[in-house]
Structure 1
Amino acid sequence: MSIRRKLLTRFIGMLTGTVILIILLGSLATIWVLQKVNEVNIVDDFAINGLDQLINSAEIMPDNTIRYDPELLKQVDKNQGWLQVLDEKGYVIDDYHVPSDVPDHYKPGELIAYSQGDKVFPYQLSMLIREKDGKYFTLLYGEKNVAQSLLDEIRPKLSYASGKLTVKPAEQETIRKADAYIQILDPYGKEIDSYNKPAVGVPSQYSIQDLILQVRYPNRSGISVATWYDNQNETTWMVSVRIDSTVVEKQNPYAFILEPALVVLILSIVALLILLALWYANRFGAPMLHMLQWLQRLEQGQYEEPTGASGIPRSQRRNGKWKRKYQVYGDVLHSMQALSHTLKQDEDLRKQTDSLREEWIAGITHDLKTPLSSIQGYAHMLETDKYTWTTEEVREFAGIMIDKSMYMDRLVNDLAMTYRLRSGGYQPEVVRTDVNTLLCDLVLRAERNPAYGEGRILFQPANEPVYGLVHIPSFERIVDNLTANALLHNPPDSILVVRVYAGEHDDEFTIEFADNGRGMSSETVWKLFERYYRGTDTGTSDVGSGLGMAVTRGLIEAMKGRIEVLSKPGEGTTIRLIWMQSTEERS
């Protein structure tokens, strides 16, 4: 899988996980809000919202008694309510905190009259019929409205005239004992008169919504409120009785639930995103920082991967495998490892090349100074008046000077040739030639060279005609260089065997120069073409220039061939010149 797909997969997975976590947080927040709203609804109106839950959570015991949810029973107690369970005939089969003035049996139609207000009942009555465990039963919930009871008791004994409320002493005592107060409101909800009203904390004007909320939800304010409308005077009588002094009035208890839930949800999402950002930074950012540090080290010439405290590369485990967070960048890390290895090799090669160049410059300088010194020496000898030279001596000196100058000319020409070959500026024009015949002529010419000795070269042509594309002048120089190296730098009794092998296809052939001389070490073989190795100096021979092998390889490669060298100390040297076409060229 490519790094693009890996990153895409990781990002999609991360975003999917984030969305799932946000949905989970939202679901938890929603569940909490619904639970709290349900609690508020039960407190606000237990008759509507609590009875249903009370039945759903109820369990019928073997003795036909009913077990209720303890938390719901606490709310019943707080509301000073009671419960009754009736069978199909109207008899009470189970009850909870039922007052003595509540009947234990209801006649047909009597329960309906009580619930609809057609018949006076001392409590506010709520009724719910449900099927439970295959049986139908009726649940009655009764709750006494303190304010309504007080209003029903004292209203006939109170009088109101000319905007003035008159309260008799007996009723005054009743109102004070109940910790209640009375307000008379005009048609617009503004207070006209009051009795026993607290000095602070009680409004003097009510809107329709305020009045309805006060009567409908007494538990929000801890005050039971009952009203009576006087049609004659178009006034509203309002009796308020404090039932819970610990309750602080809330205009909207749902805001207390929704606002914290929203704040907690937002903070949770922000915290989640921060944690995910930190995880993302560690998961994806740490490898990037590691690679950036690696690149900075490469810039400074330090090619090893940055390591941790244990000395192991930070991207790897002890077994050499990638760590989990680095696996997505595996391709990049592989490329960086290859780049580091290549740069290190190039650095080592550069150092070796610098060393070789210094050696080569020193060798070229020596090779130029030596013949130049001879020429200068003989020139000074001819110039001086101290000696009188004979004609034979002058000719001898002139011959030596010509040989040394010719050597210097070959050296300069070879040096120029190496640069042309390296830069690709030398492109010889090849022709199809009989390799057996050409090489035989060149070997016979070399045998006539008195510097090599007699009988030291053996030529073994191929058994069949061999033709190849070669540049004849360059080919001659290659043979001369290889022959001179094999015969001048080995003992006088060493033999050079030159063989020709035909290839599998036309214009493919191999030429082998094998001697049984002293051989070379692997280091010398490696340096043979790069340091312009020269086996002798100008004082021992004027045949080589010190650049022969470099020129030889360059000429072979210019003719689309290659050279191989096999040698061991004491076992001789074998040099193969190979002209083989590649598969692409043949096709």
Structure 2
Amino acid sequence: MSIRRRLMTRFIGLLAGAVILILVLGGSIAYWVIQQLNEASLVDDFASVGLEQLISTAEILPDGTVQYDPALLKRVEENNGWLQVLDEQGRVVDAFHTPSDVPNHYKPGQLLSYWEGKKPFPYQLYLLIRERKGINFTLLYGESNQAVTILDQVYTDGSYANGKLVLPSEQQDILRSADAYLEILDEQGHILTSFNKPALGTPDSYSIQDLILRTRYPTRYGITTVTIYDEQDQLTWMLSVPLASSPAGMNENPFGFIFGPALAALLVSIIILLVLLAFWYANRFGYPMLHMLQWLQRLERGHYEEPAGTRGKPRSQKRNGKWRQKYRVYAEVLHSIQSLSSTLKRDEELRRQTDSLREEWIAGITHDLKTPLSSIQGYAHMLEAEKYNWTSEEIREFAGIMLDKSMYMDRLVNDLSMTYRLRSGGYQPPIEQTDVNALLQDLVHRAERNPAYGEGRITFQPATVAVQGYVHIPSFERIVDNLTANALLHNPPQTKLTVRVEPGEQAGDFLIQFADDGRGMDQETVWRLFERYYRGTDTATSDVGSGLGMAVTKGLIEAMKGRIEVQSHPDQGTTIRLIWDRHSNEAK
């Protein structure tokens, strides 16, 4: 998966997770609001809401009694109410918190008279009939209503005539002790007169809606309001008794204490969630980006290693070398930075090697050219001096020495240039397929005709089958010339050299062996055979090479994807093998 799709997937997942969390928070708060509204409804209107819940949660026990929700029963008790369950004959089969003045059996029509208010009853009644599990429940709920009792007594004993309210002193004391106040309204709801009414916080008139809401929802206004309508005088007697737990004017918005905290909790939860998501996002996506930026800044300063953690390990990797979870999304970028770091580090190392090679090349060529140049300058001064009269034979001798030194200088410069190019990787000869047997036989025969080697010292043993190899012919010729010269010029005159070709196991693989029976070499010489200038040079032996032949040979072989092996012991001769194993090199 590409980094673009990976980032898109992560961002979509993050957004979906945030939406799900917000929905869960909203659902939890909505559930809390519903529970609180239900609780408020129980407090505000238990007669309507609570009775329905009592019926729906009731369980009939084997003994015939009814078991209710304990929380609802507690609410009944807090409201100073009571419960009765009646059968079809009006008998009470179950009761809760029933006062002694409440009958335990109701005759036909008696309950209806109490419920409809046609017959005086000391409690306000609510009746509910429901079927549950095949049984009809007649649930009778009653509440002691002090306001109704007081208003009935005041209306019976008091009077209002000619704009004047007359109340017995006993009724006045009852109103004052209950902190209640009486108001008489006309047909438009205007207050004609009142008794014990507070000076502040009460209106001067009431609409029909105000009367209904105050009578229906006492907790909203903190007072219990009851009314009696006088049909003869068309007046409304209204009595208001403050609730003990809710002062008047405190609950104008009955559900404000629910929706306000719910909305605040929702907003705070969303803010906290967004802050946590921001921190998580910064740690998940921002911290790896900061790590990569620090890495790039280190690369700019020349430090190519990845920034490490407290334990000295790269921050983006585990102990097993795999990416850490939060770094996997940037795997391609991290791989690119790793490659860039490796490339810069390699280039820095190559630059140092190049500088070292250049300094070494300058120092080497300066040192090696100084001796032949000194010889040439010396003979040139001798020829220039007027006090000497040189013969023609001496002049030719001097010219021969100067020519020999100049040729030596030319070989030295060429060999130094070649070793520099080989070590720096700047020389990659184009290889081509050729017949190794025929090529090597031609080069050996050419070497046999060299007067410096002598006659009959080289033996060539071709392979019994045709051998096709991939070589650069000019470089291959120089390799054969170097190895032949080393074997015949650095050994006694009677030394013999055998050159043999052997085919490899795969097509294109072959081996060439140069074996002589000369004086051999010790192990230190073998180890240092391919070092430049190990043999050393001087003007007396300039005709045997520059001292760079074996270094050039090894470099040319490796440039053609081959390798060289040397075996030698003192007084036992030397064997040099040139091996081309293309399949082995490709595996490496």
Counterpart residue type for residue 356 of structure 1: L
Q: Which moved more, 1:205-214 or 1:379-388?
A: 205-214
Contact 2:357 2:420 in 1 (8 A): no
Give the TM-score normalised by the residue count of structure 1.
0.81
Residue 183 of structure 2 aligns to a residue whose secondary structure is strand
Shift of 1:70: 3.7
Counterpart residue type for residue 447 of structure 2: A
Contact 2:219 2:254 in 1 (8 A): no
Counterpart residue type for residue 565 of structure 1: I
Contact 1:433 1:467 in 2 (8 A): yes
1:541 paired to 2:542: yes
Name the structure 2 match of 1:368.
369
Shift of 1:77: 2.9
Contact 1:41 1:49 in 2 (8 A): yes
Counterpart residue type for residue 388 of structure 2: Y
Name the structure 2 match of 1:77.
77
Q: 1:495 to 1:303 in 2, by over 3 A?
A: farther
Shift of 1:83: 1.3
Shift of 1:85: 1.4
Name the structure 2 match of 1:241.
241
Name the structure 2 match of 1:563.
562
Counterpart residue type for residue 42 of structure 1: L
> How far apart, CA to CA, are the structure 2 residues paired with 1:19 and 1:505?
66
Shift of 1:416: 6.5
Q: 1:473 to 1:303 in 2, by over 3 A?
A: closer
**Superposition pairs for residues 69-468 of structure 1, below 5 Å?**
69-132=69-132, 135-161=135-161, 163-186=163-186, 188-229=188-229, 236-244=236-244, 246-247=246-247, 249-317=250-318, 323-326=324-327, 344=345, 347-413=348-414, 436-452=437-453, 455-464=456-465
> How far apart, CA to CA, are the structure 2 residues paired with 1:320 and 1:416?
44
Contact 1:298 1:340 in 2 (8 A): yes
> How far apart, CA to CA, are the structure 2 residues paired with 1:259 and 1:50?
25
Contact 1:534 1:544 in 2 (8 A): no
Shift of 1:216: 0.8
Shift of 1:49: 0.5
Contact 2:229 2:237 in 1 (8 A): yes
> How far apart, CA to CA, are the structure 1 residues paired with 2:152 and 2:510?
130
1:518 paired to 2:521: yes
> How far apart, CA to CA, are the structure 2 residues paired with 1:340 and 1:471?
35
Q: 1:445 to 1:262 in 2, by over 3 A?
A: same
Counterpart residue type for residue 566 of structure 1: E
Contact 1:522 1:567 in 2 (8 A): no
Shift of 1:501: 4.6
Shift of 1:547: 6.0
> How far apart, CA to CA, are the structure 1 residues paired with 2:293 and 2:270?
32
Residue 541 of structure 1 aligns to a residue whose secondary structure is helix
> How far apart, CA to CA, are the structure 1 residues paired with 2:69 and 2:468?
109
Counterpart residue type for residue 458 of structure 1: T
Contact 1:489 1:536 in 2 (8 A): no
Residue 94 of structure 1 aligns to a residue whose secondary structure is strand
1:75-119 Cα shifts (integer Å, max 9, x gaps): 323322221111222111222333344322122343334334454
Name the structure 2 match of 1:54.
54
Shift of 1:375: 1.0
Name the structure 2 match of 1:576.
578
Q: Which moved more, 1:308-317 or 1:191-200?
A: 308-317
Name the structure 1 match of 2:43.
43
Q: 1:428 to 1:74 in 2, by over 3 A?
A: closer
Contact 2:82 2:141 in 1 (8 A): yes
Residue 82 of structure 1 aligns to a residue whose secondary structure is strand
> How far apart, CA to CA, are the structure 1 residues paired with 2:82 and 2:209?
30
Contact 2:86 2:137 in 1 (8 A): yes
> How far apart, CA to CA, are the structure 2 residues paired with 1:523 and 1:261?
90
Shift of 1:372: 1.5
Q: 1:451 to 1:231 in 2, by over 3 A?
A: farther
Contact 1:42 1:49 in 2 (8 A): yes
Shift of 1:389: 2.6
Counterpart residue type for residue 380 of structure 1: H
1:337-358 Cα shifts (integer Å, max 9, x gaps): 6665665555445444443333
> How far apart, CA to CA, are the structure 2 residues paired with 1:537 and 1:170?
144
> What are structure 1's unaligned runs of at least 5 residues?
none
Counterpart residue type for residue 237 of structure 1: W
Q: 1:319 to 1:51 in 2, by over 3 A?
A: same
1:237-259 Cα shifts (integer Å, max 9, x gaps): 32112241554621122121112
Shift of 1:406: 2.3
> Once the two structures are aligned, what percentage of the paired residues are identical?
62
**Superposition pairs for residues 1-12 of structure 1, below 5 Å?**
10-11=10-11
Shift of 1:6: 5.8
> How far apart, CA to CA, are the structure 2 residues paired with 1:224 and 1:469?
113
Shift of 1:573: 5.3
Shift of 1:569: 6.2
1:209-234 Cα shifts (integer Å, max 9, x gaps): 43322111113333111224456766
Q: How big is the alpha-carbon RMSD for the aligned residues of Structure 1 and Structure 2?
A: 4.3
Residue 275 of structure 1 aligns to a residue whose secondary structure is helix
Q: 1:542 to 1:228 in 2, by over 3 A?
A: farther
Counterpart residue type for residue 512 of structure 1: I
1:490-543 Cα shifts (integer Å, max 9, x gaps): 67676543334567999x574624245438879968x95xx8667442532245
Contact 1:498 1:511 in 2 (8 A): no
Counterpart residue type for residue 111 of structure 2: L
Name the count of aligned residue pairs.
Answer: 577
Q: 1:242 to 1:582 in 2, by over 3 A?
A: closer
Shift of 1:417: 6.7
Counterpart residue type for residue 576 of structure 2: T
Shift of 1:262: 1.7
1:179-215 Cα shifts (integer Å, max 9, x gaps): 2212234555443432211122323244444332211
> How far apart, CA to CA, are the structure 2 residues paired with 1:87 and 1:494?
137
Contact 1:130 1:138 in 2 (8 A): yes
> How far apart, CA to CA, are the structure 1 residues paired with 2:82 and 2:506?
114
